[in-house]
Structure formats: C-alpha cells, structure tokens
Amino acid sequence: MDFGTMVEHDALDIMGLNRYCNSSSSSSASERDGHLLKKLRGSLSRNYPQKNAEMLSAQYGMNLLLIGAALMLALTHHGPAVKEEHLLGFITALMVLQLLWMFWYVVRKKRQRNFAAEKDAHAGTRWIRGGLTLLAVLSLIMDAFRIGFFVGYHTCLSAVLWAYPVVHAIHTVSQVHFLWFHIKDVIRKYETFERFGVIHAVFTNLLLWCNGVMSEAEHFLNHHKRRLTDMGFMNFTVDDDEDNPHCNCTTSACTVFSSSLNYLYPFNIEYHIFVSAMLFVMWKNIGRTIDHHANHKKPNTRTTGLCLGPLLGLVALASTIGVLVVYLIYLEESVETQETAITMFYIYSIAILSLMCLAGVVGLLIYRAEGLPMDQGKNPSRQLDMELLFSSSVGSWLMSWCSVVAVISSSSSPTYRWTSLVYSLLLILEKYVQNLFIVESLYRQRPREGGLDASQDPGSPGIFTVAADMVPPYNGIINQAYDNQDKFCASMESEPEENGQVYSGARKPSQVPLPVVLDLEDKPSRKRQILKNITVFLFMCNVSLWILPAFGCRPQYDNGLEQNLYGFTTWSTVLNFAIPLNLFYRMHCVASLFEVFRKV
Amino acid sequence: MDFGTMVEHDALDIMGLNRYCNSSSSSSASERDGHLLKKLRGSLSRNYPQKNAEMLSAQYGMNLLLIGAALMLALTHHGPAVKEEHLLGFITALMVLQLLWMFWYVVRKKRQRNFAAEKDAHAGTRWIRGGLTLLAVLSLIMDAFRIGFFVGYHTCLSAVLWAYPVVHAIHTVSQVHFLWFHIKDVIRKYETFERFGVIHAVFTNLLLWCNGVMSEAEHFLNHHKRRLTDMGFMNFTVDDDEDNPHCNCTTSACTVFSSSLNYLYPFNIEYHIFVSAMLFVMWKNIGRTIDHHANHKKPNTRTTGLCLGPLLGLVALASTIGVLVVYLIYLEESVETQETAITMFYIYSIAILSLMCLAGVVGLLIYRAEGLPMDQGKNPSRQLDMELLFSSSVGSWLMSWCSVVAVISSSSSPTYRWTSLVYSLLLILEKYVQNLFIVESLYRQRPREGGLDASQDPGSPGIFTVAADMVPPYNGIINQAYDNQDKFCASMESEPEENGQVYSGARKPSQVPLPVVLDLEDKPSRKRQILKNITVFLFMCNVSLWILPAFGCRPQYDNGLEQNLYGFTTWSTVLNFAIPLNLFYRMHCVASLFEVFRKV
C-alpha cells in the first residue's frame, strides 16, 4: 500500500468516524447504506490491500501456467485429441494479450511524462539488458528459421503454426523495448491492474520457457532413441511423422532450417527464463517505496591484477570445446569409443569441478578473514537471485544423488563407475560452495576504493551511517550503535535483511566520530584481486559447464548405470526435470558472478 | 545477526581500526598475521553472517531430502539393488540424529534456565500443538500395529524393518515433547549449529512425509489395479509378494494389523507435514529479535450468533460421510453402479463447492465494506501460511486443469462428462476465493470488542499507535500519521508487510487525540457474526473435502476421461503429485480457518 493511498484511507476513516459520531442518532438508514456502498466501491478500486492484490494476481498467473502444463502433458501422450496447434494457439493468445497490455502501459506512461517516475536502480542493470538483447536477437533468428520452415511446408500445416513464430517475433521485439525502458519502473498507480499485466507477462514467458524445454527435451530424446536403435541396444519405434510434416518441402532450405533450429533452442530457452525473472522483480516492486539515498556507487570494473583467473578460465573454456567435439564424435562410433568418451568427460569434469570448489573455498575464507559487515538494504532482485540459485540447484542435486545411489548399488562395473561417483559428489559440493560464495559476495558491503572498510558507504544501512547533511568521504562518519542503542535495538527487531530503509528516517548526526585511516591500501586490495580472479575463473567455468549439456553432451543418458536402476521412463523424467534446471542454474550463476565481479 | 553479536563485532572493528591506526607504522608483519588468524577463527565460529548460515543449513537439509528422493525413485522401479530396508535404514539414521540433537538442546536449555529465553508468541499456538498431539497419538498406534505386524513375520523380515517403527515411536514421543516446550523458542546462541539441528529436523519430517505419501499412493494404486483387473478392464499383474512377506504369520492378528494400517496412514502423513511446517517457522526465527510490545490480545472465541454456519457445516459433514460410504460400496459392484457413484460424487461436490465459493465471496465483500487497516507486523508463521496455501493449491489446480482439457477434448461422452467439467472449474474457483479470504482474514487487524475499529490495537504497527506509557483502552490513542508525517514516510520505505517493528523504537506521545465513540456496537458485530459463520462453514467443508480423498474416494482414478487423454502412467504421476498436496491443502486450510475464527 503506498503512502498516498494510506493517508487518503486514513482521512476517510477519520471522516467516517466523525460522521458516525455526529450523526449516529439522527442519520437515516438509507443514508448510511449509501455511504457504505460508496465506501465499498472505493475500497474495491483504490484501497485494495497489497497482500490480497498480490495473491489475486499470482493465482491468476499460476493458473495460466497450469493450463499450459495440462496441454503439454496431453501432448506428450501423442493422442489424437490435443495437438500442437492447440498449445501454440493458447500461447499465441497469451502473447497477444501481453502485447496489448505493454502497448497500453507505454502509451499511458508517455502521456504522464510530467510525473517523476520512481526507479529501482537494482533491477535490470544495463549489462543484463544487453545480454538479453543478444539472446533476443538469436531468438529472432530462430523465428525467421521457423517461418522459413513453415513457408516450405505451408500446404500441409495449420495456420496456427504459421502465426506463432510471427507473433513471437513481434512479441520479442516489443518485449525487449519494454525491458530497456520500463523494467526499472516502480508502479504506484492502478496497482491492481498493473499487477495483473506484469504477472501475465511473467507467466507467459515461463510458459514459453516450458514449451521450449519440452520441445528440446523431446527432440533430444528422439535423437537418443534413434541412436540406441541404430547401435542395436534397444528397439524403439520413433515416429518420424511427429517431426516432419506429411508433404514435400516447396523450397530447398527446409532441412537446413530444421537442423539449425536445434542449435538455437538453448538461447531461446535462456531468453525466456531470464525475462520472466526480470519481470518478476518488477512485479515485486509494484507499490514499493524506493530509498533514494541508496548506494549508487559506480561499479569497480578495473581489471588490474587479473591474471591467473582469466588464464585458467580460458584454458577451461578451450578444453570444454575440445571435449564437446570429441564426445559427440566418439559417441556415434562404437561401444568402446562411447565408453572412452564418457570416461574422458568424467575426468575432465572432475578436474574442473575440483578447481571450482577450491576457488570457492578460498573466496569464502577471504570473506571470513575480512569480516566486512553485511549490506542489509532491501533489494528484491538480490533476494530473488538467492532463491533462484538455491531452487535451481535442486534439479542438479537430485540428478547427482540418483547417480550416487545408482553407482553404489550397481552390479555391473564399467570403467567409469568410480569416476562417475567422484564426479557426482564433486558436482554436489561445487554447487554447495559456489552458492555460498555468490550469496556472501552479493550480501557483503563493497569496500571503499583504497581498501577501507565498507561500513561507511553512504546510505547503506549498516551500523555506521552518514549523517544526511554531511558529505562523504571520511568526515561525518558516526557511530550510531553507541549513540542511540535503544533506537538501534528497536530497529533491529525487524529481520536484518529486511529493515533496509529503517535508518533513513532516524538519521541524525552523532557525537562520537570514528578515527579512520587510509594507509592500509595494499592489503585489502590484494584480497580484492584474489577475489576478482576467483570470480572470473568461476564465471568462465560456468559458461563451460553450460555449453556442454546445452549442445548435447549428456553422459547421464549414455552411461547406462542409472537407467538400469531407475528404468528408462523414470530416469528420462528425472533428466527432463533436472537438465533444464541445471542449464538455468549455470546461466544464472554467470549473471550473478558478473554482478559479483562488478561489486568486488 | 543478533544485536549482541553485532555490538561485539562492531567493537572488534573499532578496536581493529584503532589498533591499525596506532601501530600501522611500527607493528611487525607477524603480529598483524596473528591478529588476522584470530579474527578469521572468530568470524568462522561466532560472526557467521545470517544469510550465509541460512544458505548453509538449507542446502544441507535439501540434500538430505534429495538422497531420500533418489532412494525412493529407485524403490519404485522394484529392482533388486535398492530395497525398502535401505530407505528405512537411512530414515532411521536421520531420526536417531534428530533425537540426539533434541536431547542435547533440551539438556543445554535446562542448564541455562536462568537466562530469560525469548519466545515467538505466533509460533505453534496451543490448539495447533493439541491437534498435533492427537495426530501423534494416532501415529503411535500405527507404530504399534507395525511392530505387531513385524512380530508376526519376524522370521523372514530384516531387522531394519523392525527397528524403524520402534525408533519412529520414540521419535514421535520426543518430538511432541520438544514441540510443546520449545517450539516458541527464539534461538540466539550457537546459531549456526542450531540452524543445522532445526533444519535437520524439518527435512527428516519432510522425508517421513514423502515416505508416507509414497507408501500410501503405492498401496492405493495396487488396490486400484487389482480392482480394474477383477472387473476385467485391464490386465495388470500386481505382485502380491511386494505387499506380503514370504513366510507365515506366527500370530493371528497380522491381517488385522495390515488392514488397520491403511486407515491410519492419512493421520501419520498430516502429522509429519505439520511438524515440518512448525519447525520451519522455528528455523526462520533463529537469530530474530522479537517485539515484546506485540499484540497478545486474547482471542475472541465467543460463539454467540453462530447458527447458520455450523448448521450447514454439519449437514455438509454428514452428507460427506454418506457419500463416502455409498461411493466405496457402489464402486466395487458393477460398471453401472460405478457410473452412478461418480455422478453422485460430482453433484454433491458441485453443491458444496458452490456454497463455499459463495461464502468466500460474501466474506471478501464484507472486508471490502469494512475497510479495516491491514496488520503489517512481522510474523514468519503467517507469511509461511500464505505461501503454503498458495503452493499447495498448485497440485489441485493442475489436476483440475488436466480434467478440463480432458473433458473438452474427449470423444466419449459418459453421463458425468459435463458435471465433471463444472466440478473442475468450481474446484479452481473455490481455492482461488478461499485463499483470498484466508489471506485477507489473517492480515486484517482484529477489531476491538464492542465493534470499534481495530486500528487502536496496542503495539500493532498501524497508522494509529498507542503511546508506550499509556494504558488502553480508549485513552491515549493518538494520530501519529499527522504528527510525524516525515518519520512515517521514511518508515514506509521498507515494504509494508515487513516493517513491523519499526514503530516500537520511535513511539512517543502526540498531541492530536482522535475522537472515539462506542455507540455503534451492533453494526460491525453483525458483520463479525456473518464472518464467524462463514469461517465455521468453510472449516467444516474443508474437513469434509479432506475426508473424501483421504479415505479412498478418488473419482479422478475412476472416471476414465483423463486416463484416455494422458495415458495411465502420466495420469497416475499427476495424481500421485496432486492428491497428497491437495490433502495437505485441506488440512492446512482447516488450521488457518481455526486461526481466522479466533481472530474474527
């Protein structure tokens, strides 16, 4: 509930009470009813409480996603009743609705240009929007290929399949425009309606993500089955009809289009999940009041002292591409080369994961040694970052624990049995350590240039705050903890990470100046250099570990250990759940580590 | 981070800086290193930042659950490698670990009795603990039956299967003791260690819940398959070996024990999920500082004016039991009676769901008309309540949307086709409305006795607060909104639902008294009476809708519409996910509605 609304509401209450007070004995029942009706209408439109409005819109969005999920589940059964047209038609309708809403929003915003709009500086930084634009461009190319494919087969394909990529292309262009110019907006007007619009956009993108993941997983699974049948392991009948239409291509490029699509899928998938995360932050920001004193310090992107991290990272990246190519070639050849390929993959992964664990542990130890205070400012996008890291790890952890159980209980013993066990355990440990490192980095306060403690950050609500009327740096730093212990104690009663803006109202100069010195520049900056190197190294390793599964290096399908224990269906289901989450995890880590790099 | 730690930390920083300041030119490098080492050790043990400690322990707990999930997945394949003993052994080990931790916690607590322990008044109210004790007693009976069963078959069963119910019984008794006396504790010492202990308990109970759900689902599915085979619909081979051991029972009561178990499963399942939710709140409370001025008003459990709600509720409950019995009998007889049973179920459900929707809408309209302010105090258990309501609805929504898609796309047309559609849509709507009603009720401030506006609640951080040195009722109510608009504005900058304790430090008397009257007692209390009736009615309807699926009335398995579209495997998977969530949803609604009843 915003301040304006509350004051209004307040005034209304007082008026109401006064009115009752003066007229309680004389007023007629009809007058009272009229007043009630007016109050009811008013509270339905304006004073709708925030918690309820959130629930209202979140439930709407969730139901959209579930309708899509129901259609997808029906599709996987390949029955005659529900066809791809139905799902794509539904998604297209949602996209059109989102387009209308975005159009309305932008037009209304233009008209009210004289209002000073509030912005959340943390949401959608420039480089995230830049990365998204890149992914969007690749998505557009994918749409172009799709349109080309459908032009070739237009005689036997439904118009919906044709309309979908066209609407998707328009949707992508408009959405990127919207993200560039409006993602930081903090909406304070027509809140309930806007909540519906934004959550609609969030869940439309999530549904597009689910659809992408499903198509990709189905395609990979069909390819996998065909390979197994070719090698004589299994006897699946793969319906080629499902993939290809029942008529001849009228142009010459159909095959090129359809095979190029597979390389573009991963980018399209990442694009949609990222957009929905960004829009979710926008949704959380609706009705919020932003602290304008917040820390807008320029990021420290100096690259002095960067050496070992980028170097090792480049080595990791190069060897990843080598491993990927060798793996994909060896996998197709024979059973022996397949076993070699899998062993190679595990050994390579063990090396890279060990180094990542080590880097993460060193980073955490540096933080322990530094003991800088935590930044407890309110920041929905950081909170979301943390929750997403944790929840997207779950997929990969489940997969790894399944592998561990499978290896331990396995009766067969291929050469890679124990390396696979070490790999799975390291994968679990690596995510554990990396999450801790990223969370700690995001929540640490940034040290000042010159290696000073970060606690003097202007506006950051730590123990030491700067008096509002004084100008940094280094004079006017006060110790409120000793000065106003009572007040401090009271403010601490709300949970630390959420009382970000508590201080801005109670800020006043104090009498105990803290002696501050500047002559220790070398020590913390050496630590900072190590942290920067670690971050760059982890960044490149995560890119590597994204590339491998995204382009088809998935030994979990090929090693056969888990399949024996869980059966083909269960294990494919686990992988179809875990691999997309893992891909998202890697991408999200890359984004978070970039943020860490700018902060360290 | 608690206040004590922060002040210490603070002092350490200042000392550190002073030390550096004085000795920066003269101190030797070794001295500096020694200091660093000490600081490192200190920060590893004491000053571990809260966000990181949370992540550390949450990741640990999640991995415990995933190991269990991996074992369960392996079990569902019925392979030779992983047996039930392994899973039960793992769970038993976790329970023993939890027992040790609880023992340690209780002993240490007893020793430190002189410390005034902090309590969270919102966590685990007395009636919730009472309800839990009831469920625990039923769980204990279940353990006794299990032990009896294993005594009968002790010659051919592994010792682990024997140890499990024994340890479970001890675990249940100790846990209930722990919940009665320690669930409200707010832990402020050894935080990192305690976090691990509590989260271990949370996830052990979640795993026990998962295990219960899996056993129950498997049992139901086997029963269903056997019935279908008996009726000649399908040809499944159900392994009776799986259910029964390979030797003769040495006592006469084995069959009685094993069939009684099935009626106790639902209670055991609810017990574990509830315990984990309560412990989760305890985990969230670790390191928190509680506002002692918080609202401890006695709940209003007067039952005057309760008439239509309980009456209709009792009718619903009675007819539910009738429907359940008829359904279970008709289902076994023939295809025709089965169709009648399903139609009867749908018509009955449509009636009850329509009434529930209506009740919810009326409740929401009353809230709109009242326009009472929202209670924005910090309250982790309420926040969790809301999130659980939302997330446990997802299962049922997915199921309903799947049914909707199935009905619309179905080619066959049984008599209950369109009633099933109406039922599914009403189920979605009912959850939507009921969630809104419960959330709004929980977040609304309670009105005073006599029908006055709630805004004068002592200690509740609304717009009007009571000066700390004044005593309610009705004198000393002040309008801080006009008095300290600046301060108010600043405090509003943190999000409304989270700035609960902001006021307690800044509370001071003001000069603008608000005219308050008491002569409107009848009107709001009439509204309250309607709300109370609605709540009681919804309460009993939710109990009814829990009873039906918990005791085997699951038409989603029997109507065949969805099975045709999704296939048996996919549809059973959806139901195995959705039905336990739905059961939890109903139970959780019952608990929440009781809370609402005490509040209205």
Residue carrying structure tokens 């609640």 = B457
Which residues in chain B touch residue A406, judged by CB atoms under 8 angstroms apart? 74
Helix (H) or strand (E) holding A479: strand A477-479
Smallest CA–CA distance from A437 into chain B, residue: B52
Angle at B545 between CA B542 and CA B550, to 5 degrees: 120
Write down the H helix ranges in A286-379. 308-333, 335-370
Percentage above 90 pLDDT, chain A: 35
If one compares A491 and A203, the residue with the highest pLDDT of the two is A203
Answer yes or no: do A55 and B21 touch at CB < 8 A: no
pLDDT at A101: 94
Average pLDDT over residues A390-409: 93
Write down the H helix ranges in A371-446. 380-409, 417-443
Report the candidate in A406, A416, A408 with the shortest Cα–Cα distance to residue A338.
A416
**Number of other CB atoms surrounding residue B143 within 10 Å:** 22
Q: How far apart are CA B401 and CA A68, in angstroms?
A: 9
Mean pLDDT, rounded, of chain A: 77
Chain centroid to CA A200: how far?
17
Which residues in chain A touch residue B512, judged by CB atoms under 8 angstroms apart? none
A515 reaches B (C-beta below 8 A): yes
B26 reaches A (C-beta below 8 A): no
Highest mean pLDDT among A37-41, A463-467, A477-481: A37-41
Q: How far apart are CA A53 and CA A2, in angstroms?
A: 13
Which residues in chain B touch residue A369, judged by CB atoms under 8 angstroms apart? 36, 39-40, 43
Highest mean pLDDT among A184-193, A424-433, B460-469, B501-510: A424-433
Answer yes or no: do B81 and A401 touch at CB < 8 A: no
Report the candidate in A366, A362, A356, A347 with the shortest Cα–Cα distance to residue A312.
A356
Is this model's pTM higher than 0.90 or not? Answer: no
pLDDT at B333: 83
pLDDT at A488: 35
Residue A550 has pLDDT above 70, yes or no: yes
- β-bridge partners, A466: A477
Helix (H) or strand (E) holding A463: none
pLDDT at B48: 67
Which residues in chain A touch residue B490, judged by CB atoms under 8 angstroms apart? 501, 504-506
Q: Which two tokens stand for residue A541?
A: 């390793």
Q: Predicted confidence band at A475 (pLDDT cuts at 50, 70, 90)?
A: very low
pLDDT at B140: 94
Average pLDDT over residues A466-495: 36
pLDDT at B480: 38
Smallest CA–CA distance from A512 into chain B, residue: B14
Answer yes or no: do B495 and A498 touch at CB < 8 A: yes
B514 reaches A (C-beta below 8 A): yes
Which B-chain residues 317-336 have CB contacts (< 8 A) with chain A?
Answer: none
Q: What is the dihedral of CA B175, B181, B187, B191, to 10 degrees?
A: -30
Which residues in chain A touch residue B10, judged by CB atoms under 8 angstroms apart? 463, 481
Is the CB of residue B452 less than 8 Å from the CB of residue B472?
no
Average pLDDT over residues A313-325: 94
Question: Residue A213 carries which side chain, given as an amino acid letter?
Answer: V
Q: Please tell me the distance in Å from A179's CA to the nearest CA on chain B.
A: 24
In b/e form, how buried is each residue of A250-288, taking b as 16+ CB within 10 angstroms?
A: eeeebeebbeebeebbbbbbbbbbbbbbbbbbbbbbbbb
Q: Please tell me the distance in Å from B191's CA to the nearest CA on chain A.
A: 15
B15 reaches A (C-beta below 8 A): no
Length of chain A: 600
Which residues in chain B touch residue A51, judged by CB atoms under 8 angstroms apart? 374, 386, 439-440, 443, 497
Q: Is B293 helix (H, G, I), strand (E, B) or coil?
A: coil
Residues 6+ away with beta carbon under 8 Å from B362:
B530, B534
Q: Please tell me the distance in Å from A524's CA to the nearest CA on chain B.
A: 12
Is the CB of residue A442 less than 8 Å from the CB of residue A382?
yes
Model confidence pLDDT, tens digit, residues A104-124: 999 988 887 666 567 777 777
Q: How far apart are CA A213 and CA A581, in angstroms?
A: 10
Answer yes or no: do A374 and B69 touch at CB < 8 A: no
Q: Please tell me the distance in Å from B507's CA to the nearest CA on chain A.
A: 10
Please write down the HEC assignment for all residues of A23-87: HCCCCCHHHHHHHHHHHHHHHHHCCCCHHHHHHHHHHHHHHHHHHHHHHHHHHHCCCCCCCHHHH
- CB-nearest to A394 from B50, B62, B74 is B62
**Number of other CB atoms surrounding residue B104 within 10 Å:** 12
pLDDT at A23: 40
Chain centroid to CA A49: how far?
28
Report the candidate in A366, A332, A499, A338 with the shortest Cα–Cα distance to residue A441.
A366
Answer yes or no: do B517 and A369 touch at CB < 8 A: no
Cβ neighbourhood burial of A511 (10 Å; 0-12, 13-18, 19+)? exposed
Smallest CA–CA distance from B506 into chain A, residue: A487
Q: Please tell me the distance in Å from A147's CA to the nearest CA on chain B.
A: 28
Please write down the HEC assignment for all residues of A499-523: CCCHHHHHCCCCCCECCCCCCCCHH
Answer yes or no: do A70 and B499 touch at CB < 8 A: no
Angle, helices B50-76 vs B84-111, to 10°: value is 150
Smallest CA–CA distance from A441 into chain B, residue: B52
Length of chain B: 600
Question: Residue B367 carries which side chain, given as an amino acid letter?
Answer: Y
Angle, helices B417-443 vs B335-370, to 10°: value is 30
Which residues in chain B touch residue A196, judged by CB atoms under 8 angstroms apart? none
Is the CB of residue A399 less than 8 Å from the CB of residue A581?
no
B478 reaches A (C-beta below 8 A): no
Model confidence pLDDT, tens digit, residues A485-536: 333 333 333 333 333 333 333 333 343 344 343 444 445 578 888 999 999 9
Answer yes or no: do B390 and A289 touch at CB < 8 A: no
Phi, psi (deg, nearest 5) at residue B245: -70, 165
Please give the C-alpha separations between residue B488 and each of A494, B462, B485, B503, B506, in angstroms, as whole numbers.
Answer: 16, 11, 5, 9, 10
Model confidence pLDDT, tens digit, residues A54-95: 888 999 999 999 999 999 999 888 878 888 889 999 999 999
User: What is residue B155's DSSP assignment?
Assistant: T
**Number of other CB atoms surrounding residue A86 within 10 Å:** 18
Q: Predicted confidence band at A156 (pLDDT cuts at 50, 70, 90)?
A: confident
Q: Which two tokens stand for residue A199?
A: 């959550």
Q: Is A196 helix (H, G, I), strand (E, B) or coil?
A: helix
Answer yes or no: do B17 and A51 touch at CB < 8 A: no
Q: Please tell me the distance in Å from B252's CA to the nearest CA on chain A.
A: 37
Whole-complex ipTM: 0.75
Q: How far apart are CA A477 and CA A509, in angstroms?
A: 9
Mean pLDDT of successive 10-residue segments in chain B (600 residues)?
A: 37 37 44 56 58 87 94 86 90 96 90 70 78 93 90 83 92 94 81 88 95 88 82 62 68 82 87 91 81 54 75 93 92 85 94 96 89 73 86 93 92 87 95 93 68 37 32 36 37 37 37 40 71 93 93 87 87 90 92 87
Chains A, B: CB pairs < 8 Å? 318
Residues 6+ away with beta carbon under 8 Å from A216:
A265, A266, A269, A580
Which residues in chain B touch residue A69, judged by CB atoms under 8 angstroms apart? 398, 401
A191 reaches B (C-beta below 8 A): no
Is the CB of residue A439 less than 8 Å from the CB of residue B59?
no
Alpha-carbon dihedral sign for residues A496, A499, A501, A502: negative
Is the CB of residue B464 less than 8 Å from the CB of residue B477?
yes
Angle, helices A3-23 vs A29-45, to 10°: value is 170
Interface residue of B368, B376, B582 to substitute, partner A, most A CBs within 10 Å: B368
Answer yes or no: do B565 and A398 touch at CB < 8 A: no
Chain centroid to CA B16: how far?
46
User: Left if phi > 0, otherwise alpha if psi is -120 to 50, otherwise beta: which for A95?
Assistant: alpha
Which residues in chain B touch residue A39, judged by CB atoms under 8 angstroms apart? 369, 371
Q: Which two tokens stand for residue B490?
A: 């600043």
Write down the H helix ranges in B77-190. 84-111, 126-152, 159-182
Q: How far apart are CA A504 and CA B133, in angstroms?
A: 47
Rg, Å, chain B Cα set: 28
Is the CB of residue A502 less than 8 Å from the CB of residue B502?
yes
Model confidence pLDDT, tens digit, residues A446-459: 665 444 333 333 33
Q: How far apart are CA A194 and CA A482, in angstroms?
A: 44
Which residues in chain A touch residue B291, judged by CB atoms under 8 angstroms apart? 493
Angle at B492 between CA B491 and CA B498, to 5 degrees: 90
Q: Which two tokens stand for residue B11?
A: 């002092």
Which residues in chain B touch residue A436, judged by CB atoms under 8 angstroms apart? 52, 55-56, 59
pLDDT at B523: 53
Report the candidate in A373, A496, A486, A473 with the shortest Cα–Cα distance to residue B12.
A373
Q: How far apart are CA A268 and CA A142, in angstroms?
A: 8
A58 reaches B (C-beta below 8 A): yes
Question: Residue B397 carries which side chain, given as an amino acid letter?
Answer: W
Please write down the HEC assignment for all residues of A286-307: CCCCCCCCCCCCCCCCCCCCCC
DSSP letters, B222-263, are HHHHHHHHHTTS------HHHHS-SS--SSS-HHHHHHHHHH
Which residues in chain A touch residue B363, judged by CB atoms under 8 angstroms apart? none
